[in-house]
Structure 1
Amino acid sequence: MNTRSDVVAQFGREAGDPETFSALQNLMDLHALTIEDLHIKWEQFSYQKREKSTDLSSENLEQFKQYLQQQVEKKAAQASAAISNPSSVSKKPKPLKPLQSSPSLFGFNIPRGSSLKKRKLNAGSNYQDTEAGSKLEFSQGPSEDNINKENELSHGNADTSMSTPPNLRSMGSPAVNSTFKSGEIKTSLNPEEMEVACGLQEDSEKRVNITPFYDPEKYKFRTMRQNLSDAADVLDMQIEIIAEIVQNHYKLSASEFGDPTIQAQSEIHAVGRIVPESPSDESVNTESLALETSRMAGIGRRVRLNLTDVNEVSLFLGQIVAVKGKNADGDSFKATEFLPLPYPESPVSTADEIQTHQKALNGDPLKVTVITGPFTSNDSFDFSHLTNFVERLNTEIKPHALIMFGPLIDVTHPMIAAGTLPHFPHLKSQPQTLDDLFLKVMAPILKNIRSNIQVILIPSTRDALSKHAAYPQDSLDRKALQLPKNFKCFANPATFQLNEVFFGCSNVDTFKDIKEMPKGGNTSMRDRFDRVSEHILQQRRYYPVFPGGITKKLLPNTEGGNKVYEHISGADLDVPYLGLTEFVGNFTPDIILIPSEMNHFAKVEQNVIMINPGRFVKPWGHQGTYADISISAPDLDNGKLTKIEGPEPVYLHNVWKRARVDIANI
């Protein structure tokens, strides 16, 4: 049962009204939602009323109730429409090959590449261009399919279950939406700045230069071998690194920092991790949080956070914060101010490097396409959507590079979970293993991609083809997948450079797993994707949540009436190697790609383009979306690059000003 303070912490003071509280409580009970999930759905409902007031009035609550009911009815209609042909009998997949032995290498260091050492990454947030403002936003309301997906899957401790259609079809026709138009643009970022790039010319042999900025050898560790002392060292180091950054940024002396767990009558500064006050507390809110110290600053102890004097803040579990306050009673640390963490530096290039990249494509714009798996629906292994998209990729879209996020073969697919493989009539020899399924069915489709299109594969922890199912995650094996040389397999997460543009890619759902606890009207009224994007940049990690989010399903026929859940997937953090999830070289990429089950979007946060391309195929077969990025060539003369004076002048890339992002139907 959620208390009134829990509801107020999520929805604001107006939720404390008895009638409003009762209405929200009834909706949670009716739809089996936690307070966090209900608040997320309220924000999604608010998106559709962007031009209207979305206070907790009786009229809005009644519309919200109808909105939730419509999603339930739509989900039921989709499930009943699933084709009921039972899947043909097939053999169970053989176990995947065992992990290969390799030395464990710890992260946190800058990659050994000489090009990164030459690059002057000394242009900090003080040089960020603000001509058009530091934030641009072009996102649309939540799609019904995404809301349905949220009803199916639960993260963390939500008491919802994943529903599976009773009958799975092996190779039926994909679901068709009569109103769907391939290539139709759903939302755009900077459409007035430039046209959609033409991409590859028919006779062009020009290729983009791809430079990875991470050490692949550090990802060769073995999973499920976590050492408690190593994990503790990493968690401590995260706090100590932020403490040093805060001290240098705000020019604080070491004497101004103290141990928040010790009773004192004077104010101090403290840096620590946001954790629940009680590990067994499932309904965490701003009234039940604690600050965890490092072993150096406070022997690793925790102290309850008192936020009475804090007017506005947004917190989540795992967040590292710098806070000012005092522990006057020895029981709690009363915070008076949260110090905003400084943003990382921006990448820069010299004039010679800019001219080299400009000539790489003869001054033409760079075009990059981004797609995210799974590439089949939940009730089939039909790859016709992917086949059609590859044809469009070759003849219509024609990007210089394709970034392809996994899972390629989803290990959580209901048919795989049931131990069955479909029958493919066009194959003489049927696949017997999951590796066979990729090599005989999916690989031939991918091989049809034009050889002058560079393809970058980013794995998922749900990839059946990966030997490394924890985050951070090693790359896939291109040779084992029998893919041509224009395919590049990168780690998860990965930072790399396409010509002059730095890309940061992470294939874990950060936008859904960060369950915020905002306090203050201005904070809670901001777009949730804005707040999460800001957290990612300030925390300097692609996945700052701790512990990681999980997806689980409710097991049927549990004894004694107790609810028993089965873990399906999630972040599955390998804690001793979380250093590999940090931004490389202490700078932010120009573009950050983080696929999410939440609604697709493209926006600018602190001069960094944040993109969620959306899922390629919806759970029940409807076509999804992809991202198309057009970036004009860097030019020293058109004024779009900001010059930073110094012994050797360098230029900010300002990709956010010269890039167009389109989220379109596949």
Structure 2
Amino acid sequence: MKTVSKDEIRQAFAGVGLTSVDQSMISKCVAFANNHHISSKSMAECWESFSLNKSIDALDEHSWQSFRSDLEKEAERNPTPLQVESCSSSGAVQTRPAMGKRQLPTVTPPAKRVATPPNNTKSAVDAVLSSTTASPVKSASPSYTPPKYEERAGAGKVILTFNPNDLKPTTTAADSNTTTTPKCSIAYQQFDTNVTAQPHRHLFTTMEDRAKALDKHLVQLEDIMMERYNIKGKDDDDTPMMMEDEAEIAPLEAVAVPRQDKICCIGRICNAAHEGRINHTSVVLEGSKHLGGARIEMDVSLLKDGEKQKDFSLFPGQIVAVEGMNSTGRKLTAHRICEGAAHGGNKSTAKQLLEYHYSRQNGTPLKIMTVAGPYTTSDNLGYDPLFDFMSIVMQEKPDVVIMVGPFVDLRHKDIQSGEASLLFSDGSDDMTVPYEAFFANKIAGLLEEFFEGGDFKTQFVLVPSLDDATADWAYPQAPFQDRVFGQRGKVILKKAGGDGLEINTLGLDQIEKGAAGDNNAASADAPFRRIHCVSNPCTLQLNEVIIGVTGTDAIFHMSADETNANLVPGSRLARIGQHMLQQRSYYPLFPAFPGANLDLKRMKQWSMPCQPDLLIVPSKLTSFARPVLGDTVLVNPGHLTKNTTGGTYGVMEIHPMKREELETAGGVGDVELDHNIPNRLHLEIRKI
């Protein structure tokens, strides 16, 4: 096996989202890879699995020992055969282990590293050779103990910055959020894809309804792609039969119809294996019903490493236009792939932008904080990280805080065991309560205390998650709401001689009642509310800025079932986010990742009505912020907690456009200007 270099290790780590690694750690990885004959790709895949399982996002001295233990196990599971010199024409002969037991090498092994002092543990080889059973091999490395939240290091540290134009962040004193009215309005009712709170039957969908929903979505995107790429039918007079210009697309044809000329087929990517991750050899293209609805093998070898080598990224459920040859009707050899069609960037008139930036915002940036649950660590229900985050919000005084679930995490061991209990006000004893009452005490109660602490104009946006105990369990999700409406549905539990506890309500209405008289904030139709409960996913408009948010980890789900080739190193995550825009969907993967619970009958309600300026997708993967398709910034703020320790959150400032430019454009007429958010954005990802 060839020697692994430092650059190969860096590129492999960048491909899985680990972009910042110390030089000393790179050297250790190179030494380990060469000593144990592990490829850079295998090491990066092992890190991706390790970081997700252990909730670790940095490779340092503290996490190296445990990571090395996983690497040793990987090396034992997948040993690389040694190569020996030979006189044969091939130049090398590989030894092959015998079936049922390990075969010792017939050549002199490389020199061993300096051994650590003996600690009465067997080496991995001795453990395998001395045992006749398949018992696991224990590493001599010390086991990794996750640090506690109170012991976390680097609280408040900025771990990532997105600031292409070197914009200066504003200070709290310069922008104190003490205006008489909020600096921005939050609108979401105009987007017809947002889920309403109307009751309905979840997942009550027949097989026929599911098939119709999938085919309808395919046909809609098929029409859009034909118009975008100027794809004509075979019999259209203005379509040239022989195309020498590579920019032109061949005429449209049904998937399974054999043709001797180059054709273009539009369909949905499927996995021929049905189970497991899709790969280059298992790609199948499925056509729409009105074009036959057939499935055909799709050969991407020419794009991967052939004469027409191009980059591509494919996943099940993706709708693509494929140009190539299908001479037999059984295999489509791809020459080019068009991976969807995005909406395009957003525009507003100069008059509107002047109103937003200099009448409402008074020439100051729009400050947005974004955070995602879980909001308490896995070892308790104290919600200390949420308390600390709200203290930061009180100091930063943002205009909007976007909070994504889970708020009451169904995966938390104490929630699963039914031990969600609250203390009475006198602290004498506790009582197990419903999830709604727990939410009202831990979440709504903290928000209410925040507004009681000062005259803040901050607006909170609450987005549910599929792991929320107080939300629906099917995607898309309706906004948070009380299960029983009206005063008659509320129940008061009282302790003898003590205070009462209200259940069957989330307690959010109390926050709005506290703002009565200020812009009619208690009214559901008021332009400025303190708390906005929206659906998952949702599309919001903050002044001119369009923000898309989903509480489902679409980035991780798609990365787990995607195949690609020839991508620029470090661009894989941005490419996955690009798929969401090109497929015009907050969740384009189908079949869905286990636990996603897609309600296909409501497929329209997780589609994108427009291309967001900011696309917020909290993910288990390493936090990042990447420009996508030029007009959108894809943001993964991470999660507020990771296992037993703290996580990350995001702080964004969207700076206004220059006043003279807007006034000049406004004098011409109703000139529409691009929002240009990537060049106006200053973003930081910080540790809690």
Asked whether the two chains share a fold, i.e. TM above 0.5, the reply is yes
Shift in alpha-carbon separation, 1:273–1:72, aligned structure 2, 3 A: closer
Q: Which residue of 1 aligns with 2:191?
A: 214
Is residue 653 from structure 1 mapped to residue 675 from structure 2 by the alignment? yes
Equivalent of 1:292 in 286, 296, 309: 286
Is residue 187 from structure 1 mapped to residue 160 from structure 2 by the alignment? yes
Equivalent residues in 2 for 1:210-249, closer than 5 Å: 210-212=186-188, 213-215=190-192, 220=198, 221-249=200-228
- CA deviation digits over 1:183-230, x for unaligned, max 9? 221111117532223465264223021111424565633212113222
Local SS of the residue matching 1:266? strand
Structure 1: tracts of 5 or more residues without a match: 1-16, 21-38, 80-139, 152-172, 551-569
Shift in alpha-carbon separation, 1:403–1:393, aligned structure 2, 3 A: same
How far has the Cα of 1:40 moved from its partner?
8.4
Is residue 402 from structure 1 mapped to residue 407 from structure 2 by the alignment? no
Q: Which amino acid aligns with 2:445?
A: P
Is residue 303 from structure 1 mapped to residue 299 from structure 2 by the alignment? no
Is residue 543 from structure 1 mapped to residue 583 from structure 2 by the alignment? no
Q: Which amino acid aligns with 2:276?
A: E
The two structures have a TM-score, normalised by structure 1, of: 0.70
Quick one: distance in 2 between partners of 1:496 and 1:632?
Answer: 18
Q: Which residue of 2 aligns with 1:627?
A: 650
Equivalent of 1:458 in 458, 463, 467: 463
Structure 2: tracts of 5 or more residues without a match: 5-11, 71-146, 235-250, 304-308, 486-504, 513-529
Quick one: distance in 2 between partners of 1:617 and 1:287?
Answer: 39
Is residue 596 from structure 1 mapped to residue 619 from structure 2 by the alignment? yes
Quick one: distance in 1 between partners of 2:411 and 2:197?
Answer: 24
Q: Which residue of 1 aligns with 2:437?
A: 436
How far has the Cα of 1:49 moved from its partner?
7.6
How far has the Cα of 1:354 moved from its partner?
1.1
Whether the aligned pair in 1 keeps the contact of 2:33 and 2:43 (CA below 8 Å) is no
Quick one: distance in 1 between partners of 2:419 and 2:371?
Answer: 27
- CA deviation digits over 1:346-366, x for unaligned, max 9? 111112211211211222211
Quick one: distance in 2 between partners of 1:376 and 1:289?
Answer: 41
How far has the Cα of 1:418 moved from its partner?
2.4
How far has the Cα of 1:283 moved from its partner?
4.5
Equivalent of 2:21 in 23, 48, 52: 48
Q: Which amino acid aligns with 2:543?
A: N
How far has the Cα of 1:385 moved from its partner?
1.9
How far has the Cα of 1:289 moved from its partner?
1.3
Equivalent of 1:473 in 477, 493, 504: 477
Equivalent of 2:260 in 248, 265, 277: 265
How far has the Cα of 1:52 moved from its partner?
7.9
Q: Which residue of 2 aligns with 1:333?
A: 332
Whether the aligned pair in 1 keeps the contact of 2:625 and 2:634 (CA below 8 Å) is yes
Shift in alpha-carbon separation, 1:66–1:265, aligned structure 2, 3 A: closer
Quick one: distance in 2 between partners of 1:361 and 1:238?
Answer: 40
Quick one: distance in 2 between partners of 1:71 and 1:540?
Answer: 28
Q: Which amino acid aligns with 1:210?
A: I
Q: Which amino acid aligns with 1:209?
A: S
Shift in alpha-carbon separation, 1:571–1:74, aligned structure 2, 3 A: closer
Q: Which residue of 2 aligns with 1:608?
A: 632
How far has the Cα of 1:345 moved from its partner?
1.8
Q: Which amino acid aligns with 1:229?
A: E
Quick one: distance in 2 between partners of 1:304 and 1:503?
Answer: 38
Shift in alpha-carbon separation, 1:492–1:642, aligned structure 2, 3 A: farther
Whether the aligned pair in 1 keeps the contact of 2:15 and 2:571 (CA below 8 Å) is no
Is residue 500 from structure 1 mapped to residue 544 from structure 2 by the alignment? yes
Local SS of the residue matching 1:304? strand
Whether the aligned pair in 1 keeps the contact of 2:196 and 2:535 (CA below 8 Å) is no
Q: Which residue of 1 aligns with 2:180?
A: 205
Shift in alpha-carbon separation, 1:209–1:536, aligned structure 2, 3 A: same
Q: Calculate percent identity across the aligned residue pairs.
A: 24
Local SS of the residue matching 1:296? helix
Whether the aligned pair in 2 keeps the contact of 1:403 and 1:457 (CA below 8 Å) is yes
Q: Which residue of 2 aligns with 1:520?
A: 565
Quick one: distance in 2 between partners of 1:78 and 1:510?
Answer: 18
- CA deviation digits over 1:242-279, x for unaligned, max 9? 22122112222222211121233232211111111132
Local SS of the residue matching 1:273? strand
The two structures have a TM-score, normalised by structure 2, of: 0.68
How far has the Cα of 1:438 moved from its partner?
1.6
Q: Which amino acid aligns with 1:449?
A: F
Quick one: distance in 1 between partners of 2:419 and 2:679?
Answer: 49
Whether the aligned pair in 1 keeps the contact of 2:464 and 2:536 (CA below 8 Å) is yes
Local SS of the residue matching 1:610? strand
Q: Which amino acid aligns with 1:571?
A: A
How far has the Cα of 1:336 moved from its partner?
1.8
Answer 1 or 2: higher relative contact order, Cα 8 Å, separation at least 6.
1
Moved more, 450-459 or 489-498: 450-459
Whether the aligned pair in 1 keeps the contact of 2:177 and 2:397 (CA below 8 Å) is no
Q: Which residue of 2 aligns with 1:168?
A: none
Quick one: distance in 1 between partners of 2:543 and 2:49?
Answer: 47
- Greater C-alpha radius of gyration: 2
Q: Which amino acid aligns with 1:175?
A: Y
Is residue 175 from structure 1 mapped to residue 149 from structure 2 by the alignment? yes
Q: Which amino acid aligns with 1:663?
A: I
> Paired residues, what number?
520
Quick one: distance in 1 between partners of 2:417 and 2:15?
Answer: 35
Shift in alpha-carbon separation, 1:600–1:374, aligned structure 2, 3 A: same
Equivalent of 1:510 in 539, 542, 554: 554
Shift in alpha-carbon separation, 1:643–1:286, aligned structure 2, 3 A: farther
Quick one: distance in 2 between partners of 1:456 and 1:74?
Answer: 29
Shift in alpha-carbon separation, 1:343–1:616, aligned structure 2, 3 A: same
Q: Which residue of 2 aligns with 1:368?
A: 368
Q: Which amino acid aligns with 1:187?
A: L
Quick one: distance in 1 between partners of 2:506 and 2:457?
Answer: 19
Shift in alpha-carbon separation, 1:46–1:62, aligned structure 2, 3 A: farther
Quick one: distance in 2 between partners of 1:314 and 1:70?
Answer: 22
Local SS of the residue matching 1:637? helix
Whether the aligned pair in 1 keeps the contact of 2:618 and 2:637 (CA below 8 Å) is yes
Quick one: distance in 2 between partners of 1:651 and 1:59?
Answer: 57
Shift in alpha-carbon separation, 1:643–1:602, aligned structure 2, 3 A: farther
Whether the aligned pair in 2 keeps the contact of 1:644 and 1:651 (CA below 8 Å) is no
RMSD, aligned α-carbons: 3.8
Q: Which residue of 1 aligns with 2:602?
A: 577
Shift in alpha-carbon separation, 1:439–1:345, aligned structure 2, 3 A: same
Shift in alpha-carbon separation, 1:78–1:218, aligned structure 2, 3 A: closer
Whether the aligned pair in 2 keeps the contact of 1:642 and 1:654 (CA below 8 Å) is no
How far has the Cα of 1:331 moved from its partner?
2.4
How far has the Cα of 1:455 moved from its partner?
0.4
How far has the Cα of 1:329 moved from its partner?
2.3
Q: Which residue of 1 aligns with 2:93?
A: none
